[in-house]
Structures are given as C-alpha cells and as structure tokens.
Amino acid sequence: MGDTVKLYIDGRWVGDDSNGKIAVINPATGQSLYDVYSAHKKNLRDAVKSAERAFKTWSIMPGQQRARILEQTAERLIERRDAIAIALTTEQGKPIGEAKGEVEAAIQSFKWAARQATASNKLSYSDGPDNYQQQTCIEPVGVVAGFSPWNFPAMLSARKIASALAAGCCIIIKPAEETPATAAALAEALHDAGLPAGVLSMVFGNPAEISEYLINAEAVRKVSLTGSSAVGKILARMAAETLTPCVLELGGHAPVLIFDDVDIDQTAKTLAIFKFRNAGQVCVSPSRFFVHAKIVDEFTEKFVKYTSELVVGDGIDVSTNVGPLAHERRVNDVGDLVEDAKNKGARCLLGGHKLNRAGYFYAPTVLTDVPANAELMQTEIFGPVAVLSTFDDIDDVLKRANDVPYGLASYLFTQNQSTIDYVRPRLDVGLVSINITTPILENVPFGGVKESGYGYEGGVIGLQSFQHFKLIHRG
C-alpha cells in the first residue's frame, strides 16, 4: 500500500493529490506510521454508482458462486493473518495475542457467511386455500452503508461485509481512520478472491461528511453502524428522513453481579483479565462490579492484586497484557471521568492516572465507593477502569444494574441455579453471560436495548437484516 492507505472503489485502489490525507498514529509511541487518503464527494459518488450497478448482477448470482468468493477470501486472510495482526496491533494498540484472535474471528465470519450464502431463498406455505399458492422470496435489500469502529477493525468490519455479501447485497463501508491498514487488508483479500468490481467499496475520511452523503443516497437501502450511542443517534436521525432502516450496535456500561457462592480467587482473576482486554475499549467490557457483601473484601483484595500484576506496554511485546488507549482523546476522556469520581468521594485502590511514558497509556484503575452522581456511573467508560461496589439484596442490585441508559451486556457469577433463573430475565440487556466471559461468535445474533441500539448482527437473524421478504401469491 505504500506510505498512504488508499480508498477501494469499484474494484480499484484510488487516491491522489485531490484527496486530503489523515495521519495514522501508533498509540504505543505517539509517532506517525503513515497516512490514509480522505474521500471527497466524487469518490463517494463513484462508490454509490458502482454499488448500484454491481447490485444488478451480484444480487442474482447463484449462492454457490458468492460462497466460493467468501471462502477464497477466508483463505487469503489465513495466508496473511500474521501480517494483518501486526498491522492491527501497530495502529490500534491491543496486545498481539488479542490481535491474532481478532483476525481469526474475521476469518471465521467469512467462512460462516460462505455457508449461509447457499441457503434456500424461498419459504413455502401449505396451509392456505386450495386454489392458490403462497411463497416468500428472500431477497437482498440493496446497497448497504456500513460504519465500523477502531476498537475491533478486523472483526467488526468483516462481520458487516461478510453478512451483507452473503445476503446478496453490495456494501460501501467506512472503517475508522485510526486503523485503515487493518480494514484495507479485508478489501485486498476480497479483491484477490475475485470479488466483482463495485460489490464492495471502502472509504475513509471525514465521518460526518461521509455518513451524510451515504445515508442520503437514494441507492442506499440499509445502514449498519457499530459505534457510540451519540453517533448512533445522529445517524438514526439522518436515516429517518428517508426511512432507511438501520442496525445500530452502540455503547454499553455492563454490570457484573458476583454472588457469595463463587470461587472468589478464580472469579477475580478471570474478571481482571477480561476487564482490561483491549485496555477496556470494548462495548461489552464489564465496568460496574456489584459484589455480594459477604465476599466483597476478599474479592476486592484479589481483584486489585491480579489487576496490579497485568503488564502494561506496547502490544507488539508478547509479555504485554494491556496496551495503550487508541488516541489521546481517550486518555483525556477516561482521566476526566476518574477525576470527577474522585472529586465526588470515590476511593482509588489502584491506578487512576495517565502513565508517564510515550504513547497513550492510562494505568489500569480500580475505584470503589463511587457515588451515584459520578459521571462514570451513567457514561460508558470505554477504558481501563473498574468500579467496585457491594450489595446484599438481589432486587436492589438488579435495580442498580439496570439504572443506566444502556442495555448491551451483563455478567452473572453464581453457582445457584435459582439465582440464575431469577436474575437472567430481570437484566434489561441484550446479553447475559453466566460464569464465563466468552466472546460473541459469528453464528449467533447480538444486539442491545435502550440506548445500546436496535437490530442484530451475527447469526442468521443478523444476516436477514440485509434481506427483505417478498410475499408471492399465485392462483
């Protein structure tokens, strides 16, 4: 790709002096890596026109042919996965082991989508009147505008692209400018796998300008965003003007309910590792820990101990457990939330400050006694900060767990089946993870409630968000 990551439009890599450039920074050093071209209106117009043209043939291409391209894409990614993981860590910051896991998840998304591309596109009904037939034809919705974030640039871009293509749609995707080389590697693999020109375009640049243009384009029939709740509201308002349907997977503020019958040491260790994965920059990251009063002291001691043992550093170093935040804005935002909590009476048991080193590092932080009026109790933290509190009444802790604008993920640790049966339906979220922190896989639908968005990604239900159901009556 040279010194500047290019745009991928209509089967070609484009970008020249007419495009602006955005610097891509290594968050572990604060130093510039390379630039990425910024799309202008002609680029966006070309992307929409090429997608509209390509849809006429891609949408009716036999599923077996689409599946072969998706399978070949997975093979190209397998060949290049180590290089992609290094690029991911270098421009995003996460530890190299996590980056390799993310690239593997992207590969699995394409493999899974290939299997789904050959599924039947018709449903027949036999219980109607004898004198006519009823059938539903499952058809692609059209051109999709996709927006993926910087925290999982391989996995989340792959999930949108693979599902849209398997469904028969064309997609114009705008990944984050912070991590363009990782996303571009997906486009390169698809291109090398024989994807027809126009089926995929990948653009970078000004988020407001690109989203406004794409969402208002007449050819765009679906919007898919993974991002913050604030951005989701903006895009939803834009899409409402044309009644363009959206899938919005937005922010979270996940509660963790830890009851007194758990293995305290193992639970503390598991959660310390999981909480600070990707430096806490995960929409499903556990952030509000509610620990039963009978075990809160012992759990807190062990959680702080295991957190303090995490190695903070450049993600390329295999000994690193926690990498940098993605950019300086995140360091400042996390720092502001922690300072606000401390000013309102919170106790800092560990961390609570920016690290005095090059790059965008914030110390893994554990807070307790955080008052309800602290901003971080209602705002997605998206950083390496865990908030510990206690409970002794199950209904009270459920009320507190649900008392946020978000409803994406939650975690429950207990060995009591009655407790599980009582808590699970009362958590107002899209995911309840019980005694595990397993990542969400490509074959299951996932989505939030409240300000965490609407619609689903993943699984057959997620794929069907890129399709519509045409009812056929035949006499």
The closest alpha carbon to 352, from 375, 378, 315, 383, belongs to 383
Report the C-alpha gap between 319 and 83 in whole angstroms. 19
Token couple for 415: 């060995």
The residues facing 354 across adjacent strands are 362
Inter-residue contact 192 to 207 (CB < 8 Å): no
Strands 12-14 and 7-9: antiparallel
Q: Is 102 annotated in the active site?
A: no
Place of tokens 């291409």: 61
List 91, 102, 249, 442, catalytic entry: 249
Pairing mode of beta strands 449-450, 467-474: unpaired
Q: Shortest CA distance to 273 belongs to which of 227, 320, 229?
A: 320
**48/85 Cα distance (integer angstroms):** 30
Cα separation, 51 vs 58, in Å, equals 10
Q: Indicate if 348 belongs to the active site.
A: no
Q: Which helix (H) or strand (E) holds 335?
A: helix 328-343
Residues in Cβ contact with 395 at an 8 Å cutoff, skipping those fewer than 6 apart:
none
> d(Cα 434, Cα 385) in Å, to the nearest integer?
22
Within the chain, what is the greatest distance between any pair of CA atoms?
78
Contact 475, 132 (CB under 8 A): yes
Tokens of 185: 């590697």
User: Would you state the torsion angle of the CA atoms of residues 251, 302, 323, 359, taken in this order, to the nearest 10 degrees?
Assistant: 100
162/70 Cα distance (integer angstroms): 7
Rounded CA separation 65/357 (Å):
51
Q: How far apart are the first and last CA of the chain?
A: 57
Catalytic residue among 169, 170, 246, 283: 283
* Residues that are catalytic: 249, 283
